Amino acid sequence: MTRDDPIRLFANPPHDERTEMVMLGCLIAAPVDARDLTDELIESVTVEDFHSPKHVAIFDAIRRVHRPDQVFDLAALAHTLDAGGQLETIGGVEYLTELVEGVSTPDVGRLHAKTLRAVTIKRRLVSAVDAILREAAGAERDIDALAAFTERQIAGVFADHRRDDGLVNLADVEPEQVRWLWPNRIPLGKLTIIGGDPGLGKSFLTLDLAARLSSGTGWPDRPGEPIEPGSVVLLSAEDDMADTIVPRLMAAGADRTRVNALRTVRDLGQDLLTIERTIGGIGDVRLVVIDPISAYCGRADGNSNTEVRALLAPLSDMAARRGLAVVAVTHLNKSGNGPALYRIMGSLGFTAAARCVHGVTRDRDDRDRRLFIPIKSNVGPDSGGLAFRLHDSGAGWAIAWEADPVDLTSDEAMDPDNAGERSRVEEAVAFLRAILADGPLTPQEVEARAEEAGIKWRTIERAKPRARVKSRQERKDGQIIGWVWELVK
């Protein structure tokens, strides 16, 4: 091989024509209310990022037509191309229209811009390697000169590669309130995980949530507060749509026109763009359910913290961009004991990535009763557990929620070896019912008697709702003189 020999390996340098088309379509299709997006996208790519000559011509024309904070239309772009004698070359107005029609929502351009920049770097690298090989074939080059030439070529590849150093001055960040789909349980813009053993009703639960959102029905712990209806996207790998999902939605009272199942997705790492395009096409999606998430991990190792975090980070970013809740369903591991936080199957990366984690477990005192218990919340208060049962609603099997909260921690509810603690709580329940049977007592009197009986105050507090004890203000001559505990009649 000599310096002038062709290197066939690099005859077709890296490029992605489809991504180039979508990127141009995003730039052209950005609506009037997305002028800032158009400005951002134009700044995020350069002419070098387009490999196809006709795409280079179109992008150059877009840059010439575009003005900051102004919107240009297809006609203006076509006129500019025609004036330069390029309109017919690129395929005419028909091709420009095809570019626009290939875009579901312009803001997917952010993802495509990153892809184009990555392909450009690869194309530069191929060109640099080509030059290095040709120099290496030259007999007159000594090894030191070749090393220096190689360093310059490789340095040039990444010279203007814009890496995000992650530095943000917090004075530039506007504080925001956490927004909730289900207040204090499922946040918007974030990932939530629901874990539980098979057969306990996790899928019933997520379809109940989908039904409530689609129909605007209130949440289980807020039945008198209607919610703004929204659309739902379901990714379900285990349940059949016709004989399982649809009957359950109907039994739960869903507005099925707002519930959509996405069947083409198999790998979150590869298909996230498809998910986001689908969401953009629907328009008012506020909930995405992934059931189970293990079926959508693709080649990612679910036991690898690094791979799980890499898989879930883009999913969380999409939730934040779209302002929707992503609820992922998973199973519990077989350890059967230890803190509930470590019972979620697979890597700890799943629970680390999620901002809220809930568990579904069986009530050990009532096998037909299920407990929905908060395990972790990084963005809101611990709102306590709830209980539900599966029942025949007349239209099919559905969830019936109980009104009273569940006064158990996730560790208490999900650890089978925690029988000793449950026994102490049950003892305290019997104690409270006995001492209050003859009438109300002040909290101080209850505490003193509990201390005499060797029962800790924290155990008394946990036993209080189970014993159906309420606090009531004591009045005399119209004045509040204190509080008393009494049994609910």
**pLDDT 10s digits, 79-110:** 889 888 999 999 999 999 888 887 756 667 77
**pLDDT 10s digits, 368-410:** 999 999 999 999 888 889 999 999 888 889 999 998 888 777 8
- Which of 29-43, 221-235, 259-273, 330-344 has the weakest average pLDDT? 29-43
pLDDT at 399: 94
- Which of 141-145, 173-177, 413-417 has the weakest average pLDDT? 413-417
pLDDT (average), residues 185-197 = 95
pLDDT at 66: 80
pLDDT at 419: 54
Distance CA 373, CA 221 (A): 13
pLDDT at 25 over 90: no
pLDDT at 232: 97
> Would you say 245 and 207 are in contact if contact means Cβ atoms under 8 Å apart?
yes
Classify each residue of 353-369 as buried b or exposed e, where b means 16 or more C-beta atoms within 10 Å of its C-beta: bbbbbbbbbbeeeeeee
pLDDT at 26 over 80: yes
The more confidently predicted of residues 20 and 335 is: 20
pLDDT (average), residues 271-287 = 89
pLDDT at 33: 47
- Which of 8-12, 42-46, 327-331 has the weakest average pLDDT? 8-12
pLDDT (average), residues 208-215 = 97
pLDDT at 359 over 50: yes
Instruction: Identify the band that residue 334 occupies on the pLDDT scale cut at 50, 70 and 90.
Output: confident
What is the residue-averaged pLDDT of the chain?
A: 85
pLDDT at 35: 57
pLDDT at 165: 52
Q: What does the DSSP assignment read for 337-355?
A: -S-GGG-BSS-THHHHH-S
Instruction: Identify the band that residue 338 occupies on the pLDDT scale cut at 50, 70 and 90.
Output: low
pLDDT at 154: 82
pLDDT at 417: 56
**pLDDT 10s digits, 428-465:** 888 999 899 889 999 999 999 999 888 988 888 878 88
pLDDT at 3 over 50: no
Q: Which two tokens stand for residue 383?
A: 């709102």
Q: Which two tokens stand for residue 365?
A: 């005192």
pLDDT at 422 over 70: no
pLDDT at 1: 44
pLDDT (average), residues 132-140 = 77
Instruction: Identify the band that residue 416 occupies on the pLDDT scale cut at 50, 70 and 90.
Output: low
pLDDT (average), residues 235-244 = 93
Q: Which 3 state secondary structure label does DSSP give 442?
A: coil
> Would you say 464 and 405 are in contact if contact means Cβ atoms under 8 Å apart?
no
Tokens 């961009």 found at: 321
Dihedral (C-alpha) 445, 448, 449, 453: value to the nearest 10 degrees? 170
Instruction: Identify the band that residue 136 occupies on the pLDDT scale cut at 50, 70 and 90.
Output: confident
Q: Which residues pair with 180 in a beta bridge?
A: 187
Instruction: Identify the band that residue 7 occupies on the pLDDT scale cut at 50, 70 and 90.
Output: very low
If we measure between CA atoms, which residue out of 46, 50, 48, 78 comes closest to residue 63? 46
pLDDT at 75: 84
Q: Which two tokens stand for residue 285?
A: 């999606």
Phi/psi for 12 (5° steps) reads -125, 85
pLDDT (average), residues 187-192 = 96
pLDDT at 153: 83
**pLDDT 10s digits, 164-179:** 556 788 998 889 899 9
Q: Which residues pair with 397 in a beta bridge?
A: 392
Distance CA 293, CA 234 (A): 12
User: Phi-psi region for residue 184, left (φ > 0), alpha (ψ -120 to 50) or beta?
Assistant: left
pLDDT (average), residues 310-323 = 90
